[in-house]
Amino acid sequence: MTSLKSRAGPTILIAALLVAGVIVARVVAAQDSAQTTPPPKEKKLAAGEKEAKKLLLLMDKDMSGKVSKQEFMAFMEAEFERLDINRDGELDVKELTDSRVQIRTRGR
């Protein structure tokens, strides 16, 4: 019959290996989820990039893939005119907060 002391060593070793295995599994799972789910900042950047591409499509009249100063200014002037509901040449808080996004086609 084996003594309690002689069985304690292997039992402790097995328990330690199980705990180490659980820790390693958690670390690996955390690394996997970190690689598949972008951090919130990266999500915001991706969303911002998507919106920038939409703006580019709206402003880029000559379809060069870039927005010239003239294209940018023409777009902003048209937006100003659209937002200036009372046609006083100025935008107030109400005009800016009541505005609705309008998607325009390239033909306009």
61 part of a folded domain: yes
6 part of a folded domain: no
Q: What does the alpha-carbon distance between residue 42 and residue 89 come to, in Å, rounded to a whole number? A: 39
93 part of a folded domain: yes
State which residues form the domain around 75.
40-97
50 part of a folded domain: yes
Structural domains in the chain (count):
1
Residue pLDDT tens, the chain, 108 long = 555 455 555 556 565 555 566 566 666 666 666 556 666 777 777 778 888 888 899 899 999 999 999 999 999 999 999 999 999 999 999 998 887 655 555 554
- Residue 99 sits at the vertex; the CA angle it makes with 93 and 104, to the nearest 5 degrees, is 145
CB burial of residue 63 (10 Å; 0-12, 13-18, 19+): exposed
66 part of a folded domain: yes
34 part of a folded domain: no
Q: What is the pLDDT of residue 108?
A: 46
> Which residue is associated with the tokens 């019959």?
1
Q: What does the alpha-carbon distance between residue 18 and residue 78 come to, in Å, rounded to a whole number? A: 67
